[in-house]
Amino acid sequence: MPLLLRSLELTRFRNLEHARLELAEGFTVLWGHNGAGKTNVLEALYLLATLRSFRTTDLSWLVQTEAPAASVTLQAYDEQVALPTTLQVQLARTGSGVRRSAHADGKLVRSAIDFYGRLRAVLFTPDDLAVLRESPSQRRQFLDRMLFARERAHIADVQDYERLVRSRNSVLRDESLTASTREPLLDAYESQLAQVGARIWSRRERLLDELAPGARASFAAIHGRPGVDPAQGAAAELGLSYAARLGTVAEPERAGALAARLRERRVVDRDRGATTVGPHRDDVLVRLDDRPVGEFASQGQTRAIVLALKLAELGLADQAGARPLLLLDDVGSELDPLRTAALFARLAEVSGQCVITTTAREFVRLPPSGEHRFWAVERGVVRATPGPAGPPAEP
Ligand SMILES: Nc1ncnc2c1ncn2[C@@H]1O[C@H](COP(=O)(O)OP(=O)(O)OP(=O)(O)O)[C@@H](O)[C@H]1O
Ligand SMILES: [Mg+2]
């Protein structure tokens, strides 16, 4: 459902007592000092998209200290039906936590699943850098989260898979079982694990194949193409591949190969008390010129790669007709002026509506064409200001 977002209103949301801001068709820039409330505004938009926060699982933190309730309201124009539409999330404190309720056009939407997806958003936060820097589980989660939004069946498969791994592990660890009871139990769990595991593996791999060309192109656009401008720093090619524990296996043979390997590993896995093969141990290899980024990439390169992955995600959702909102938190730090300019040029090319936070308004280099808005955020108060080219605004 393509939505054109018009305005956002916040009441008693974190440190924002009351704020109302119009959103630009192009870039909306929130600028101000550390701790001013910029990320809080992104968090409110993310809440409308997902009914969750990217900073906490306990939504009571989102309600202003001492306030009984908070609300976030979005006015938008639904291009499909050519009508204005309103989305609202209310958070009301209860004795133990907070009650969340979602409304569309003034009507309560009881099921989260019915609300979820009315507004699609792709978020970048500095925390996303962990996708490249930290453990394989972060990279698997990155793919799984995208798949959850695209294919409902993936959610159920991941839940089933995790449950089956736990069951297999508890059978392996159970010393009271004789071989004649243990082996048939393992046969049963492993054959299910292999079926579900093969589906998870194939979906992740296909998604990565779909993401790779867009990510490569965005990385090249932000960081520089090989052979172009070598004086501006090393240009490198981004490589993305799914690294299954089982190596390369054709799709139709995966369930069989997984089942066979699980059976082979029974003795080893019993010693370790864990299932050591399967998609819960897979990884995504991210390489620059064939070198692993974790060991090789600079800070700025790491940031450019993660941004490129986000833009590829945006591109896929866009193809599916969702036209997502892009939320970029603190996007600029660590990129040099050349890369910053290249990033904004790329964003202008590939993103629709985009909301950015920054501590330095000068840092933002927006294309001259397109409608942009700048909002200063200061101690929870949001007000309209000119962009960096306009007359200097009071801080
Ligand atoms: N529930 C709450 N009630 C009142 N204030 C809150 C609440 N939760 C957080 N805050 C305040 O919100 C502020 C943080 O806002 P936010 O994270 O949006 O800052 P920011 O402008 O993004 O800063 P930075 O540039 O450092 O990232 C902090 O000052 C914090 O004390
Ligand atoms: Mg912030």
Reported confidence tier of residue 335, pLDDT bands at 50, 70, 90: confident
Residue 365 lies in a domain: yes
Residue 316 lies in a domain: no
Name which residue sits closest to atom 24 of ligand 1, judged by CA.
Answer: 34
- Look at 56-60, 79-83, 248-252, 267-271 and tell me which has the smallest mean pLDDT: 79-83
| Ligand showing the shortest atom-to-Cα distance for residue 30 | 1
> Are residues 370 and 247 part of one domain?
no
> Are residues 347 and 216 part of one domain?
no
CATH of the domain at 227: 1.20.1050.90
> Are residues 280 and 165 part of one domain?
yes
Give the pLDDT mean for 49-59. Answer: 95
- Tell me the residue type at 75: Q
> Are residues 371 and 334 part of one domain?
yes
> Are residues 115 and 138 part of one domain?
no
CATH of the domain at 68: 3.40.50.300
> Are residues 142 and 57 part of one domain?
no
User: Is the shortest distance between the CB of 60 and ligand 1 below 6 Å?
Assistant: no
Structural domain of 187: 130-295
Name which residue sits closest to atom 18 of ligand 1, judged by CA.
Answer: 37
pLDDT of residue 389: 65
Residue 308 lies in a domain: no
Tokens at 65, concatenated: 């200290």
Which three-class secondary structure state does DSSP give residue 104? strand
Of 11, 12, 13, 15, best ligand 1 pocket probe by most atoms within 8 Å of the beta carbon: 15
CA separation for the pair 220, 235 (Å, rounded): 8
pLDDT of residue 310: 94
Ligand 1 center to 15 CA (angstroms): 6
User: Is the shortest distance between the CB of 65 and ligand 1 below 6 Å?
Assistant: yes
Report, in this order, helix, strand and coil percent for the chain, each rounded to 5: 45, 25, 30
Ligand 2 center to 150 CA (angstroms): 28
Contact 51, 116 (CB under 8 A): yes
DSSP annotation of 72 reads E
Name which residue sits closest to atom 4 of ligand 1, judged by CA.
Answer: 15
* Residue 207 to residues 75, 142, 148, 218, 310, Cα–Cα distance (Å): 33, 11, 12, 17, 13
- Domain ends where: 241, 276, 295? 295
> Are residues 263 and 372 part of one domain?
no
Which three-class secondary structure state does DSSP give residue 395? coil
Ligand 2 center to 340 CA (angstroms): 18
pLDDT of residue 365: 82
Rounded to 10 deg, the angle between the 179-223 and 136-150 helix axes is 90
Per-residue pLDDT tens digits for 206-235: 999 999 999 999 999 998 754 555 455 556
- Number of domains within the chain: 2
Per-residue pLDDT tens digits for 119-170: 999 999 998 988 888 889 999 999 998 898 888 899 999 999 999 999 999 9
> Are residues 286 and 223 part of one domain?
yes
> Are residues 359 and 245 part of one domain?
no
Name which residue sits closest to atom 12 of ligand 1, judged by CA.
Answer: 15
Residue 160 lies in a domain: yes
Residue 307 lies in a domain: no
Atom of ligand 1 at shortest range from CA of 65? 3
Q: What sign does the CA torsion over 217, 220, 222, 228 have?
A: negative
Residue 134 lies in a domain: yes
As separate numbers, helices (DSSP H) first and strands (DSSP E) second, the chain gives: 11, 15
Collect all residues with Cβ–Cβ distance below 8 Å to 250 and sequence separation of at least 6: none
Reported confidence tier of residue 338, pLDDT bands at 50, 70, 90: confident
pTM higher than 0.85, yes or no? yes
pLDDT of residue 230: 47
Residue 181 lies in a domain: yes
Ligand 2 center to 330 CA (angstroms): 6
